């Protein structure tokens, strides 16, 4: 080819070859520049469909414009040849540089940062490299990094491919079909090596492999053959001991084999590299957060959770204090923006919990699109008043309140307490680690989270409500076990994982939310339904004087930067809602009620419908109670730990429940229904298990199983009561299976699963799940319940809160009927949840016992008024 002229390109020299074609240097006579020409493989060029596909992809790639990405100038055809015209990048490849030995860490970080910036720019446009390796990275004589062949792997894909895979180590086939491999063996992500579809996380894995090779001078994965190398990628322990300590945290985050646990955003890599260069020292490890455990949920369901602390108080000294009352839907905490101009809160609409934003003093609030699954009491504002952080679907998210654009910041354990956000883009939130509850730090742009506080020891409560101090580096947080006990407030710092005890608050918020806000000169906190301010020196971190009352009847509050406080009033009867279980008929009319000690999380009727077992949050701690038909309660399990998710055994003699006795994990126990005798452990596990249902003959217990390290998955297991009594998996998938219920004849099991875009109800055969499967819902549903008399009807709650019924006729084969709505269920917790059981149904299917918010009308949550105080510090001078 050398010496030939194609179009305006005179080929001058051969640069190299690979699985994606021959590369030559050429002179562009029209523009007077040197370019690189890449000829497409002959088999490729003869396939018109693939060439058309390549042209489409090449146009997308040509739109990339970044100083660290080699540009594509055009795609040409001449004299039967198809070729790409690309930027000619002088200098050596990274592979050439690594052959000389390890690159000094400071130089390596500069190179790696430029690679990360190139990837980040492309990822933002939805383009994934798919074949990142040292040979595809060049360093110009001026030290600029250029990533080559960006996205060409996808451009070379075919709808069906029969390309020769012998071009090892470059292996090229379509990456979007199972069983097909694409990429370079030593740098492939595990999902690529398995032939699965890939996304940006494959580039993040490859980036980690390249970074390791850059700083160590060694290949991370090697083998005599491609197969051996792929086996190493899939199975060999990832050892990064040869890498400097400063980059090991980032390497661990990039080299997680499970893509769900891998660093989410390559932009965070550049940020972490900046931090490491600046500090010259990095922690040896960065702990990853884990799934929201039922233990934590049970503890936190007890607390009415409260808002983000806002800082930097400044207000005119002579301005008067102003107080006024306004109405707002729902009963969630009102979160005031830092500038004091808007409030945000959550309220249900047709069974979905939206964030609403309303200007202070206005009567009109607007829902924010894309926030229909927001958790109550989890909101916090960005310092610029434009965005709201919130928890939803086991994720930490943010939403632009003007545009409604929602982005995920973090996927993992996000306890539903408000977080905090500083001007540098750091977000803090409460989470759990394997060592215990902690406050975590993540960039507001998203990515990996790291703990910034020491884990709370067992029995000392949960780390909650981080709130930045005005310097944006230090922050307050507190721990609390049960109301009536003493809350402990700590000061933490982004610069150290150590924390300093600041103050203790006796009888800390026993009736509702517990919260500490810092504003210049004061700490605000709630106690005994009263709001107090106490003088606080932010420099010396000392408390002085006595607490000064600001207002009474405060159950949920937040404060702004300019001296505004907003809070909810409690219900008029001064008693928490949800302290009654209501009997409803099939039309949703109230036909009776049962008083209970406090709001119930999960409920289940006894087989004779005469008693109900509940987990009830008394004084911020979940306990198990049996309530008889007269409403007389009997405590079954009420220790200082968590007990919840109770069910009856078939004989009605024992209650089976989940409890945490030694660690964060929840395991299965049982105790006599008359509370006599000690509890009996049924299945000890280092992970999380809690019971869901017994087989009618009592020979098998079906339970839900969470892996502590898995943030999104739960599976259904069985525990035989005879034989070897060894638990076994009933149903295990990459998604969540929850709320299993066995039919009265023991032949079927109904459960909820999020295998699709929403929870649906599915029925399978039991005890063998593979003999038959029926999808019951198409519009979503949770909490299935069988008609216990004969199993001829299946009930569930739709995602918009309606009680649904489905005929399940018996015959040679199961033929489910069409779901029909009976009534709108006034459930206490408006949002669909895979954890709680908010209702049960009598054996004949004629009456429903519902953990509800309100009495006979069965309407959804009533609104609690909001009080606004402007210039609240004037109250201290009265």
pLDDT digits (tens, 9 = 90+) for 410-420: 887 666 678 99
Of 390-394, 451-455, 534-538, 846-850, where does mean pLDDT reach its minimum? 390-394
pLDDT tens digit string along 538-562?
888 888 888 888 888 876 788 887 7
Per the annotation, the verdict on 131 as an active-site residue is yes
Domain co-membership, 501 together with 543: yes
What is the tens place of the pLDDT at every residue in 233-265?
Answer: 888 889 998 998 888 889 988 999 988 889 888
* Tally of domains in the chain: 3
Whether 36 contacts 25, CB under 8 Å? yes
Instruction: Examine the domain organization and report whether 453 and 305 are in the same domain.
Output: yes
B/e letters for 557-586, b = 16+ CB within 10 Å, e = fewer, are bbbbbbbbbbbbbbeeeeeebbbbbbebee
> Quick check: is 805 in a domain?
yes
* Pick from 486, 476, 543, 538: nearest CA to 509: 486
* Model confidence pLDDT, tens digit, residues 671-724: 999 999 999 999 888 778 889 999 999 999 999 987 655 545 789 999 999 888
Higher pLDDT, 150 or 450: 450
Residue 283 above 80 pLDDT?
no
pLDDT in tens, 347-376: 876 657 789 998 886 767 888 888 887 887
Same domain for 512 and 370: yes
Residue 217 to residue 292: CA distance in whole angstroms: 40
Per-residue pLDDT band at 42 (split at 50, 70, 90): low
Would residue 674 be called left, alpha or beta, if left means φ above 0 and alpha means ψ between -120 and 50 degrees?
Answer: alpha
- Do residue 544 and residue 621 come from a single domain? no
pLDDT per residue over 287-301, tens digit each?
A: 222 223 333 333 232
Q: Are residues 530 and 413 in the same domain?
A: yes
Q: For residue 858, tell me if it sits in a domain.
A: no
* 284 within a domain of the structure (yes/no): no
- Backbone torsion region of residue 563, taken as left when φ is above 0, otherwise alpha when ψ lies between -120 and 50, otherwise beta: left
Would 127 be classed as within a structural domain? yes
Is pLDDT larger for residue 193 or for residue 61? 193
- Indicate whether 323 belongs to any domain: no
| 479 and 412 part of one domain | yes
Determine, yes or no, domain membership for 569: yes
Looking up residue 429, the CATH number of its domain turns out to be 2.120.10.30
Indicate the pLDDT class of residue 505, thresholds 50, 70 and 90: confident
298 and 270, same structural domain?
Answer: no
For residue 739, being part of any structural domain is answered with: yes
**Mean pLDDT (whole number) for 157-169:** 35
Give me the pLDDT at residue 793, please: 97
- How would residue 305 be classed by pLDDT, with cut points 50, 70 and 90? very low
Is the pLDDT confidence value at 860 over 50? Answer: no
Active-site pick, 131, 203, 265, 710? 131
Say what the pLDDT of residue 471 is. 87
- 445 and 476 assigned to the same domain: yes
What span, in angstroms and rounded, lies between the C-alpha atoms of 369 and 402?
10
Q: Is the domain of 539 the same as that of 621?
A: no
Q: Is the domain of 847 the same as that of 868? A: no
- Other beta carbons within 10 angstroms of residue 529's beta carbon come to 16
Give residue 866's pLDDT band: very low, low, confident or very high (50, 70, 90): confident
Q: Could you tell me if 304 and 425 lie in one domain?
A: yes
Residue 762 is predicted with a pLDDT of 96
Closest CA to 184 of 202, 159, 200, 163: 202
CA gap 111, 109 in Å, rounded: 5
pLDDT of residue 745: 94
Full DSSP string of 244-308: -TTTHHHHHHHT-SSTTTS-S-HHHHHHHHHHHHHHS---S--PPP----HHHHHHHHTS-----
Is 338:383 a contact under the CB 8 Å cutoff? yes
Confidence tier at 766 by pLDDT (50, 70, 90): very high
Looking at beta carbons, which pairs linking 421-427 to residues 24 or more positions away fall under 8 Å? 421/308, 421/380, 421/381, 421/382, 421/383, 421/387, 421/389, 421/468, 422/383, 422/468, 422/472, 422/473, 423/383, 423/472, 424/472, 426/472, 426/494, 427/389, 427/396
**Helix, strand, coil share (%) of the chain residues, nearest 5:** 15, 35, 50
Cα radius of gyration rounded to whole Å, the chain = 30
What confidence category does residue 141 fall into, taking pLDDT thresholds of 50, 70 and 90?
Answer: confident
User: 146 and 11, same structural domain?
Assistant: yes
- Look up the pTM and report it: 0.48
Query: Could you read off the pLDDT of 769-802 as tens digits, one per residue?
Result: 999 999 999 888 999 999 999 999 999 999 878 8
Residue 63: give the domain boundaries.
5-279
The pLDDT of residue 512 is 36
Calculate the average pLDDT of the chain. 79
Q: What is the mean pLDDT of residues 281-286?
A: 30
Which residues neighbour 117 within 8 Å (Cβ) at sequence distance 6 or greater? 66, 68, 270
pLDDT over 80 at 155, yes or no: no
Residue 645 forms part of a structural domain: yes
Residue 361: partners with Cβ closer than 8 Å, 6 or more residues away? 324, 326, 868
CA distance 643 to 694: 18
């Amino acid at each position: 080819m050398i010496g030939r002229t194609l179009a305006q390109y005179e080929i001058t020299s051969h640069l190299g070859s690979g699985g994606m074609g021959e590369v030559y240097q050429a002179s562009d006579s029209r523009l007077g520049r040197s370019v690189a020409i890449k000829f497409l493989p002959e088999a490729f060029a003869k396939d018109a469909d693939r060439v058309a596909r390549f042209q489409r992809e090449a146009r997308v790639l040509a739109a990339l414009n970044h100083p660290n990405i080699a540009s594509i100038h055009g795609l040409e055809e001449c004299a039967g040849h198809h070729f790409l015209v690309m930027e000619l990048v002088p200098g050596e490849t990274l592979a050439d540089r690594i052959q000389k030995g390890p690159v000094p860490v400071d130089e390596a970080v500069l190179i790696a940062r430029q690679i990360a910036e190139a990837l980040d720019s492309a990822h933002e446009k939805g383009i994934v490299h798919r074949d990142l390796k040292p040979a595809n990275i060049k360093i110009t004589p001026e030290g600029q990094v250029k990533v080559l062949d960006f996205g060409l792997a996808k451009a070379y894909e075919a709808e069906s491919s029969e390309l020769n895979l012998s071009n090892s180590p470059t292996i090229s086939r379509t990456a979007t079909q199972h069983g097909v491999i694409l990429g370079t063996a030593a740098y492939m992500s595990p999902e690529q090596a398995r032939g699965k579809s890939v996304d940006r996380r494959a580039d993040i894995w490859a980036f980690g492999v390249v970074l390791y090779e850059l700083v160590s001078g060694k290949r991370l994965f090697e083998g005599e053959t491609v197969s051996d190398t792929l086996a190493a990628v899939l199975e060999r322990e990832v050892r990064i001991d040869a890498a400097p300590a400063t980059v090991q945290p980032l390497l661990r985050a990039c080299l997680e084999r499970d893509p769900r646990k891998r660093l989410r955003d390559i932009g965070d890599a550049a940020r972490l590299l900046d931090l490491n260069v600046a500090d010259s020292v990095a922690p040896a490890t960065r702990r990853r957060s884990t799934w929201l455990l039922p233990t934590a949920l049970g503890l936190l369901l007890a607390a009415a959770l409260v808002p983000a602390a806002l800082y930097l108080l400044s207000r005119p000294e002579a301005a008067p204090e102003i107080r006024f009352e306004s109405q707002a839907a729902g009963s969630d905490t009102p979160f005031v923006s830092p500038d004091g101009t808007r409030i945000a809160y959550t309220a249900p609409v047709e069974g979905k919990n939206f964030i609403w934003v309303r200007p202070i003093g206005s009567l009109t609030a607007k829902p924010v699109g894309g926030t229909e699954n927001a958790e109550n009491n989890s909101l916090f504002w960005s310092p610029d008043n434009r965005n709201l952080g919130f928890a939803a679907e086991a994720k930490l998210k943010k939403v632009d309140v003007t545009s409604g654009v929602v982005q995920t910041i973090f996927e993992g354990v996000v306890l539903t307490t408000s977080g905090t956000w500083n001007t540098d883009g750091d977000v803090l939130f409460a989470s759990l680690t394997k060592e215990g509850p902690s406050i975590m730090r993540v960039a507001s742009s998203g990515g990996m989270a790291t703990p910034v506080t020491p884990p709370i020891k067992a029995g000392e409560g949960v780390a909650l409500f981080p709130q930045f101090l005005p310097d944006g580096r230090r922050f307050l947080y507190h721990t609390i076990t049960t109301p009536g006990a003493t809350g402990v407030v700590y000061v933490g710092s982004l610069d150290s994982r150590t924390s300093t005890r600041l103050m203790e608050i006796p009888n800390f918020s026993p009736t509702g939310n517990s919260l500490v806000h810092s504003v210049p000169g004061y700490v605000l906190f709630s106690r005994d339904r009263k709001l107090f301010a106490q003088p606080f020196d932010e420099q010396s971190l000392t408390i002085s004087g006595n607490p000064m009352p600001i207002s009474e009847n405060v159950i949920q509050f937040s404060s702004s930067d300019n001296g505004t406080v907003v809070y909810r009033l409690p219900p008029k009867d001064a008693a928490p809602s949800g302290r009654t279980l209501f009997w409803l008929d099939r039309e949703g009319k109230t036909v009776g009620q049962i008083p209970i000690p406090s709001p119930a999380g999960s409920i289940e009727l006894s087989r004779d419908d005469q008693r109900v077992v509940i987990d009830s949050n008394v004084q911020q701690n979940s306990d198990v109670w049996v309530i008889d038909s007269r409403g007389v309660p009997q405590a079954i399990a009420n220790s200082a730990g968590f007990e919840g998710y109770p069910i009856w055994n078939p004989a009605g003699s024992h209650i089976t429940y989940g409890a945490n006795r030694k660690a964060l994990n929840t395991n299965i126990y049982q105790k006599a229904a008359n509370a006599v005798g000690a509890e009996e452990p049924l299945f000890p596990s280092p992970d999380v298990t809690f019971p869901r249902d017994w087989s009618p003959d009592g020979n098998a217990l079906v339970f839900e199983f969470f892996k502590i390290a898995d943030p999104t998955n739960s599976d259904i297991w069985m525990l035989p009561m005879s034989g070897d009594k060894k638990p076994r998996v009933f149903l295990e998938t990459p998604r969540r299976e929850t709320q299993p219920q066995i039919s009265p004849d023991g032949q079927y099991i109904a459960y909820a699963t999020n295998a699709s875009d929403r929870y649906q109800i599915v029925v399978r055969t039991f005890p063998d799940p593979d003999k038959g499967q029926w999808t019951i819902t198409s519009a979503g549903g949770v909490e299935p319940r069988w008609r216990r008399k004969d199993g001829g009807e299946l009930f569930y709650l739709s995602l918009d809160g309606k009680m649904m019924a489905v005929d399940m006729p018996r015959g040679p084969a199961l033929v489910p009927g069409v779901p029909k709505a009976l009534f709108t269920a006034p459930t206490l917790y408006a949002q669909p949840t895979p954890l709680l059981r908010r209702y049960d149904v009598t054996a004949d299917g004629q009456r429903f016992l519902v953990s509800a918010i309100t009495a006979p009308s069965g309407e959804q949550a009533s609104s609690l008024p909001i009080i606004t105080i402007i210039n609240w510090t004037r109250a201290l001078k009265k």
